[in-house]
Amino acid sequence: MKRISEGIFKRRKATCPHCGVRNDQLGDPDGDRQPKVGDLAVCIDCAGVLQITESGFDKFDKFDTLTADDLEELRNAQACIRHINTVN
């Protein structure tokens, strides 16, 4: 994965299993580490929760395995994306 700016990493295109949009960038909110297989992501188009795999993304639905802090962080990211998509 190649860093293209602070906190943003370019990867091969992968399709969101929720909405079908093709994503080719992943970001780390703290800007200090590359996302890796097994990490969670949020689709920039539909705000669906994704798990990064070797071949792209899978839908993530094991929310009961997350800590309260992780779940809150995901919900905040989804709310931000939905707000951005509403005003754009």
Domain 2-87 fold: Rubrerythrin, domain 2 (2.20.28)
pLDDT value for 3: 47
Contact in structure between 65 and 35 (CB atoms under 8 Å): no
pLDDT value for 30: 66
- CA 44/CA 25 separation, integer angstroms: 10
User: For residue range 17-70, what is the model confidence (pLDDT) as tens digits?
Assistant: 999 998 877 766 666 677 788 989 899 899 999 998 888 899 999 999 999 999
pTM of the predicted model, to two decimals? Answer: 0.79
Position 5 pLDDT exceeds 50: no
Beta bridge partners of 43: none
**What residue segments make up the domains of the chain, in order of their start?**
2-87
